[in-house]
Amino acid sequence: MGYYKHHVFFCLNERPEGDRQSCNRCGASEMQLHAKDRIKALKLAGPGGVRINKSGCLDRCEEGPVIVIYPEETWYTYVDKSDIDEIIDEHIVNGRPVERLKI
pLDDT (tens digit, 9 = 90+) per residue, 26-42?
A: 899 999 999 999 999 99
pLDDT value at 19 more than 90: no
Q: Decide if 11 contacts 66 (C-beta within 8 A).
A: yes
CA distances to 26, 42, 48, 52, 90 from 45, rounded to whole Å, are 25, 8, 8, 8, 16
pTM of the full structure: 0.93
CA–CA distance, 88 with 90 (Å, rounded to integer): 6
pLDDT at 85: 98
The pLDDT score that the predictor gives to residue 64 is: 79
Please name each of the domains of the chain with its CATH number: 13-101 (3.40.30.10)
Residue 20 vs residue 54, higher pLDDT: 54
* pLDDT over 90 at 73, yes or no: yes
Residue 18 has pLDDT above 90, yes or no: no
From the number of C-beta atoms within 10 Å of its C-beta (0-12, 13-18, 19+), residue 47 rates as: exposed
Angle at 101 between CA 97 and CA 103, to 5 degrees: 95
Degrees to nearest 5, angle at CA 4 with 101 and 37: 60
